[in-house]
A = this chain, B = another copy of it.
């Protein structure tokens, strides 16, 4: 705004809010004004919640999840099956699977996907941490719950190769070594999806993976 009519404090608040995903300059102003108008009900609680987040929230050293505890709540949850590990790209994917209450497994967050064009190689992802976990022998199955994108699939292939190489090495040392089962999410028609609106790739996969009525 011209001439700093709203004072530098509000200007700064708007500028920072505009950097949040999904907010632009106009919506940031609207949010700032809403916050200022609802000081007691919203601005103060949100300010406190953010200060707490700054202090407490950290990345879990085991799985890469974000939490106020390290290791995180999921890693220390005794009711979860530690032999089943779900590998996801991002914390948001972990949250999505948890919301769906799909299974009671442990997680491993990669922190992205392999993307040579963006200069993201295996060392930029938490793949070393994954191999360190599988090396301990406790994990029996890994589900690669990566996105159905080219990058996601490339990452899944790379991880599969690495795990198989690790298994090969382990079986040399120990002939009784049981290789880890590796699986991937099914591709197909989403629930509620209409065939007419789906792309050819999805339809092809759905047709190939068709299931017989039992």
Q: Is chain A's binding surface mostly helix, strand, loop or mixed?
A: helix
Residue positions of A touching B, CB distance < 8 A: 1-10, 12-13, 16-17, 19-23, 27, 29-31, 33-37, 39, 42-47, 49-54, 56-57, 65-69, 72-74, 90-92, 94-95, 98-99, 101
Measured between beta carbons, the chain B residues less than 8 angstroms from A7 are 57, 67-69, 72-73
B74 touches A30 (CB 8 A): no
Besides the contacts A4-B73, A6-B65, A36-B91, what 14 more A-B pairs have beta carbons closer than 8 Å?
Answer: A2-B99, A5-B98, A7-B72, A10-B57, A13-B53, A16-B49, A19-B42, A22-B31, A33-B90, A33-B92, A36-B53, A39-B54, A44-B54, A47-B50
Residue of B nearest to A91 (CB): B33
Contact assessment for B50 and A95 in the assembled complex, using a CB-CB cutoff below 8 Å: no
A52–B45 Cα distance when bound, in Å, is 14
